[in-house]
Amino acid sequence: MREKILFLSPFFHPEAISTGRYNGYLARALVEAGFHLDVFTSHPLYPDWKPVASKATISGTMIYRGGLSIRYPVSAVLRRIVLEFWFTWYVAWSLVVRRERYEVAVMIFPPVCFALLSRRLFGAKKTCSGTSKQVIDFSPL
């Protein structure tokens, strides 16, 4: 059985921005390396900050999307606050409801608040940090 990786980012394929594209490329590379990914993400929302329903997939991944009903404010600061809070709630809810076991979680920043909660829910043993992303190894629940 292939190892499952939890991939967390509100920006993912087919999002047109660089982070969304990067995450899609990274997911494909992980699948090609033999992993299966569960992805918790948003529906695409750039450039208008208005979520658009998407059922786009990547082979070897199971994509769970949320945030379709989120309405973002005009202010850039308030948009980021809304993104932080709803995505943190969404990740926490998804982890509790799905009750899956993951050895590794890939968390793409920003946003960042969801990572603190996710780390507490899993009881991370080790954190390896980089400039734009963190990979956290989790022990099974």
Per the CB < 8 A criterion, the answer to whether 118 and 108 are in contact is no
For the chain, 141 residues long, give each residue's pLDDT as a single digit of tens. Answer: 578 888 999 999 999 888 899 999 999 999 999 999 999 999 999 889 999 999 999 999 999 999 999 999 999 999 989 998 999 899 888 888 888 877 788 888 776 676 666 566 655 444 443 333 444 443 333
What is the architecture, at CATH level 2, of domain 4-137?
A: 3-Layer(aba) Sandwich (3.40)
Domain positions in the chain: 4-137
For 102-135, give one letter per residue: b (16+ CB within 10 A) or e.
beebbbbbebebbbeebbeebebeeeeeeeebbe
Global confidence as pTM: 0.80
